[in-house]
Structure 1
Amino acid sequence: MLIFNILPSSGSGGQCRRQVCALLALIASAGAARGQTAPPPDTLTTRRHRLPEAQVRGVRPERFAVGSPRLEVDSAVLAQYRGGTAADVLGAREGLYIKNYGPGQLATISLRGTSSQHTAVLWNGLNITLPTLGQNDLALLPISGNTQLAVQPGPAAALYGSGAVGGAILLRTDPDWRPGLRGSVQADAGSFGLHGGSLEARSASAGVAVRVAASYRHADNNYPYLLREPAGLVRYTMQNAALRHQWSFSPDLAWRVGAAGELTATVWLTDTDREIQQGTGVAGSNARELDQSHRLVLGYRRATTGGGQWSVRGAWFEDIINYSDQGAVSNSRVRTTQSQAEYTAPLGPRASLRLGLEAQHFAAVVDGYGPEPITENRAAAFALLRYDPRPALRLSANLRQAALPAGLAPLAPTVGAEWDLYQAAATDSLAATRPGLTLKASASRTYRAPTLNERYWQPGGNPDLRPESGMGYELGLRHRARLAPALALETELTAFHQLVANWVQWLPLGRAAPIRPATCARCAARASKQARRCGCAGAATGPPAGWLTASPKPRKPRA
């Protein structure tokens, strides 16, 4: 709309007539212009309009881990290790203690002074820890099968279940709904016969998102080493240490069902053939191991009209370990079926509650268990509460109760709190990235169920083993500073005290008796400023050859 102000003039009549004519011409031209740029008729009520569909985002368990530290690998960093494994990333980027026996060899983690059996490994919210060993070889977890990797140090059994005594490793493959087709190719090469690569392709439309990833790796590992002998230093070449092959294939599919539902299907197939590296003073070993894992997860989640969300997941895993050394063979195959159902409800604008149930069924055919297959069932119920009474104060209270074949596991509660002592004024929508100082605290009770090896190995298995239990307390301070518009610095200091009771160790119970799993006295781990210390009562040895072992340094037994 054009608005003109007509002012009175003191000029002659001719001048006035000329002004009036010019004004009339301008009004006429304005009317014509308005007619040319007039908007089309309103179609809001006469035509159908397709609104963009809302994405259903799952509420992750980490939301309820208030007061606990979290180490998350940046996606840009993770992309550099697409041809590597979880052991490569965590050892190089997160500063965690990885006990690595060589390239492509056994790699286990130790968190908060505990053993590798005290770290749970979850993939898309489901525990993939080997039920026979109670631990995972991180060298058998290729990064290409995942899009996110994080570590949560500290007891977290209320969130993640059995085994999360020292902490948990969280792997995830979330769908990417950005439209279009994208892909990446990566090739790796190194010394001592290392070569490999990875391939990834993604595509998404309004209702379907697809991702396919694959990787391959090979290494001869024929590196030289020096060994001191009576004649002096002698140069040797490492034998029987090759990673013959390691490949991974992971297709993922996500399908939006209506405006409030999402169906996902995720597959992760891995195959590793490797020679078991011998000690420098050991000769004649030709040990070899074939590791295969087949994992499938189907899930469905749906948002409710009241702001809540419910989800169900079902999974089938198969883990195969075939070990051989100069005619001695030890084969293992375990099939795991898992199911999980949970509902998350808002309790007003500041609180949310999650209730859930999960069940596991194991079917194991292991040479060391005898000729008959072994089956075992486990179940658990959990409740997770998050409450933010003020924007600067966050609280959580979680609880889990598991049912094991030998009875109920120890009740696992967790409470946590975070208080922002100082936080800069909001300049963006992400409060966690603003400069500030946060005080954190948590207290947890945790547990670890006995493994199938500890219960059924012959000879030595003890079906009456009690589950391990423990307590953990921690107090931390996190500081965030903005050094430049595109540069931020975050530091965190955590002091903790952790106590583990009924720690299961394989012990010889007599001169001629076989080693058996037994519970030892309490083991304590304390840390401050990233220092760790662990002591365990009782001698520690390993189960029969061919199985993974990782134990604290043995000390003199005490009552």
Structure 2
Amino acid sequence: MKKTLVLLLSSSAYFLCLGQEKAIDTVYIFDNQMNKVKLFHKVNTITPQDVEKNSTNLSELLRFQSSVYIKENGRGAVSSPSFRGTTAQQTAFVWNGININSNFLGQGDVNNISFWGFDQIDIKAGGGSVQYGSGAIGGSIHLNNDLSFNKGFHASLFSEASSFNTYNNFGRASFSNDKFSFKASAHHSISENDYEVKEARNYINRNGAYNNSNFNFAAAYKIAPHQQISWISEFFNGNQHYPVFFDSQTKTKYETQNIRSLISWDWNQAKFSNSFKAAYTEENFQYFGDIDRPETSGGIGKNYILKNDFNYFIIPKLNFNLITEFQVNKAEGVGDSQIKKVSRNVGSIAGLLRYFTTKDLRFEAGIKKDFVEDISSPVQFSFSGKWDALRWYNASLSVSRNFRFPSFNDLYWQPGGNIDLKPETSYQFELRNQFKLAGIKISLTPYYLKIHDMINWLPSSLGYYMATNTNKVESYGLESQVEYEKTFEKHTLKTNLGYSYTKSTNLETQKQLMYVPYHKFFGNIDYQYDFIRLYVQGLFNGLTYIDTNEKRSDALKSYFVMNAGLSATFLKNYTVGVKVNNIFDQIYYTMASYPLPKRNYSLNLNINF
């Protein structure tokens, strides 16, 4: 019997045999590139069940379940990610295949991005600008939805009460038949967030309250046997109070409202597929210099996006993928904001070839050119290969050139914006080695990353900070992961452990970048027996410098934090759970001056219909 190669492409799975093709309906995924990415790259997937372990916010979820370093100004406050020693601007947030980094800052505020309502959250370390555009230098975080057919009606409710007067409520419902699929969800979270850490100079998280709401719906309809149209939209509203150190200080807050909407027309045949998307994203924010007064400043950013993804099998072993995209980016400051009304056009064209020599060996090569109004952008490329050398060993190679074009703040903020800025560019190399021994998966990934024309805000001769192309940054290190899953009778054990070493150096000063720990370890162990489920999480973060001079006396000390949870399912559809976070009462910081909570608790109820 001839060997079969399984490729997950767009909304169908194609079994490609030598001279034989068969299409099988599967779940429709809005990000049709993600399954292709997984053929060549390591992608860590966080499921809705995993989300419930760290239900407070996206910062907590990423901190305990990925290698990403999260810098958070106190629980629930401003938060930013870092992959492999890069900055938040060099991390791409991708919503169902659409890059959603802010027009203003060029990054995503982690705690103002909802993580409820998604069917999976994918974490990909390493460059990905050919597929996902500007900012995908250090890594990318993917918020993905899917729709399935012929599943009937399903619904669920999740409700949680936690320390510091924190309440989480989430509901989801879906219905599908052979031609129509619909899914909707709603989430609301609110917290007084007034935790205390007496050992840290009697710290009280004054004015730390927050609340946010999110509504998400998606629908798809099969207009023909091989064609369907789909629509997905998300609405987010957030209110964040910024902590103050003394009651006498003026209290401030930040509010944001985000809209994302996407319409897709997908056509899937045995030899080709095409996905055409039209999307609209909008970010609104208001800053209140005094929470009892009208807003001080704010902004409105809007993006209009057209994207087409064409995929064709020239022969069963050779696949050609053409991705074209056009965007109009708009932004306007409000109140005291220093950004006036601005607009720019952004276009791109990318081509990828995938060649499957055998079942055990595959290659991908890609090239992309962006056309950014008033900015000269570089040609990007990527090359990946995967070789299943032995039954117990495989290797993956990845080389790429990636980039980030300046944000509107970098270009137009007054004073300090610089319209002569160049895009940041980077070169990346990684070699992933995976071993499979007695059901255990061990991966070791050394990597190297070099960034040119990095954009920093530095003091100028005119007396204010100015956006400048300056440092070259070199980052190298090792990412490792151990995964194990075993089911026997009524017992299930699942383990996911990760360790990363990161050396990220400013080549001009030969110093480690700020807020880049050398060492990070995270671990999750799940055990289930019949209707009882227990999990334990661990997080170790090494010494972390908070300045550019490696001043050890001011650095954040290393810490180890452990969480645990226990749940029981009754009558098949009712689950009650309890969680204890920071079991050992550790005092720890991810951002100077803002300790995170000591031991805290939560109780939750999950109902499935």
Give TM class, smaller chain.
0.7 to 0.9
Q: Distance in 2 between matches of 1:182 and 1:289?
A: 36
For the residue of structure 1 that corresponds to 2:315, the secondary structure is coil
Quote how far apart the aligned CAs of 1:78 are. 3.6
Residue 291 of structure 1: aligned partner: 256
Quote how far apart the aligned CAs of 1:353 are. 1.0
Q: Distance in 2 between matches of 1:460 and 1:518?
A: 9
Alignment-mate amino acid for residue 554 of structure 1? T
Alignment-mate amino acid for residue 211 of structure 1? K
Name the CA shift for 1:111/1:422 in 2 (closer, same or farther; >3 Å): same
Aligned counterpart for 2:60 among listed residues 88, 91, 98:
88
For the residue of structure 2 that corresponds to 1:159, the secondary structure is helix
Q: Distance in 1 between matches of 2:137 and 2:194?
A: 37
- Alignment partner of 1:497 is 2:433: no
Deviations 1:424-471 (A, max 9, x none): xxxxxxxxxxxx211111111010010010001011111111100010
Alignment-mate amino acid for residue 179 of structure 2? G
* Worse-matched range after superposition: 120-129 or 527-536: 527-536
For the residue of structure 1 that corresponds to 2:49, the secondary structure is helix
- Alignment partner of 1:60 is 2:33: yes
Q: Distance in 2 between matches of 1:400 and 1:523?
A: 23
Residue 248 of structure 1: aligned partner: 214
Quote how far apart the aligned CAs of 1:130 are. 0.7
Aligned counterpart for 2:235 among listed residues 269, 278, 282:
269
- Alignment partner of 1:260 is 2:260: no
Aligned counterpart for 1:410 among listed residues 374, 378, 390:
378
Residue 528 of structure 2: aligned partner: none
For the residue of structure 2 that corresponds to 1:554, the secondary structure is coil
Q: Distance in 2 between matches of 1:288 and 1:535?
A: 35
Q: Distance in 2 between matches of 1:282 and 1:208?
A: 55
Aligned counterpart for 1:531 among listed residues 492, 501, 518:
501
- Alignment partner of 1:438 is 2:394: yes
Q: Distance in 2 between matches of 1:189 and 1:315?
A: 36
- Contact 2:327–2:347 (8 Å) recurs in 1: yes
Q: Distance in 2 between matches of 1:145 and 1:75?
A: 8
Matches within 5 A, 1:300-379: 300-304=265-269, 307-326=271-290, 329-367=296-334, 372-379=340-347
Alignment-mate amino acid for residue 307 of structure 2? Q
- TM-score where L is the length of structure 1: 0.79
More strand by share: 2
Name the CA shift for 1:267/1:463 in 2 (closer, same or farther; >3 Å): same
Q: Distance in 1 between matches of 2:320 and 2:121?
A: 25
Q: Distance in 2 between matches of 1:445 and 1:66?
A: 20
Residue 471 of structure 1: aligned partner: 427
Q: Distance in 2 between matches of 1:84 and 1:385?
A: 41
Quote how far apart the aligned CAs of 1:105 are. 1.1
Residue 183 of structure 2: aligned partner: 211
* Ranges in structure 1 where 5+ consecutive residues have no aligned partner: 1-51, 424-435, 484-488, 542-550
Alignment-mate amino acid for residue 73 of structure 1? I
For the residue of structure 2 that corresponds to 1:144, the secondary structure is coil
Name the CA shift for 1:266/1:85 in 2 (closer, same or farther; >3 Å): farther
Residue 8 of structure 2: aligned partner: none
- TM-score where L is the length of structure 2: 0.73
Q: Distance in 1 between matches of 2:58 and 2:353?
A: 31
Name the CA shift for 1:95/1:114 in 2 (closer, same or farther; >3 Å): closer
- Contact 1:332–1:366 (8 Å) recurs in 2: yes
- Give the count of matched residue pairs: 469
Deviations 1:458-503 (A, max 9, x none): 11111111100010111120123454xxxxx322110011000000
Matches within 5 A, 1:108-127: 108-127=80-99
Alignment-mate amino acid for residue 260 of structure 2? R
More helix by share: 1
- Contact 1:505–1:519 (8 Å) recurs in 2: yes
Q: Distance in 2 between matches of 1:334 and 1:185?
A: 33
- Contact 2:396–2:431 (8 Å) recurs in 1: yes
Alignment-mate amino acid for residue 297 of structure 2? S
* Worse-matched range after superposition: 266-275 or 529-538: 529-538
Aligned counterpart for 2:459 among listed residues 490, 493, 508:
508
- Contact 2:117–2:172 (8 Å) recurs in 1: no
Alignment-mate amino acid for residue 455 of structure 1? L
- Alignment partner of 1:73 is 2:46: yes
For the residue of structure 2 that corresponds to 1:477, the secondary structure is strand
Q: Distance in 1 between matches of 2:27 and 2:117?
A: 22
Q: Distance in 1 between matches of 2:121 and 2:283?
A: 21
Q: Distance in 2 between matches of 1:253 and 1:186?
A: 22
For the residue of structure 2 that corresponds to 1:417, the secondary structure is strand
Alignment-mate amino acid for residue 460 of structure 1? G
Quote how far apart the aligned CAs of 1:61 are. 4.3
Quote how far apart the aligned CAs of 1:103 are. 2.2
Alignment-mate amino acid for residue 254 of structure 1? A
- Contact 1:55–1:260 (8 Å) recurs in 2: no
Deviations 1:339-371 (A, max 9, x none): 101210012111211102101111211146658
Quote how far apart the aligned CAs of 1:63 are. 1.3
Quote how far apart the aligned CAs of 1:177 are. 1.8
- Alignment partner of 1:398 is 2:366: yes
Name the CA shift for 1:65/1:76 in 2 (closer, same or farther; >3 Å): closer
Residue 491 of structure 2: aligned partner: none
Alignment-mate amino acid for residue 253 of structure 1? A
- Alignment partner of 1:100 is 2:100: no
Deviations 1:346-398 (A, max 9, x none): 12111211102101111211146658411111111001221111111111101
Quote how far apart the aligned CAs of 1:54 are. 4.8
* Ranges in structure 2 where 5+ consecutive residues have no aligned partner: 1-22, 480-499, 515-544, 551-609
Quote how far apart the aligned CAs of 1:164 are. 0.4
Deviations 1:229-263 (A, max 9, x none): xxxx6x453311111x2110001111111101111
Quote how far apart the aligned CAs of 1:274 are. 1.5
Q: Distance in 2 between matches of 1:281 and 1:269?
A: 35
- Contact 1:208–1:254 (8 Å) recurs in 2: yes
Alignment-mate amino acid for residue 272 of structure 2? G
Alignment-mate amino acid for residue 304 of structure 2? T
For the residue of structure 1 that corresponds to 2:50, the secondary structure is helix
Aligned-residue CA RMSD in angstroms?
A: 2.5
Residue 431 of structure 1: aligned partner: none
* Worse-matched range after superposition: 92-101 or 144-153: 92-101
Residue 433 of structure 1: aligned partner: none
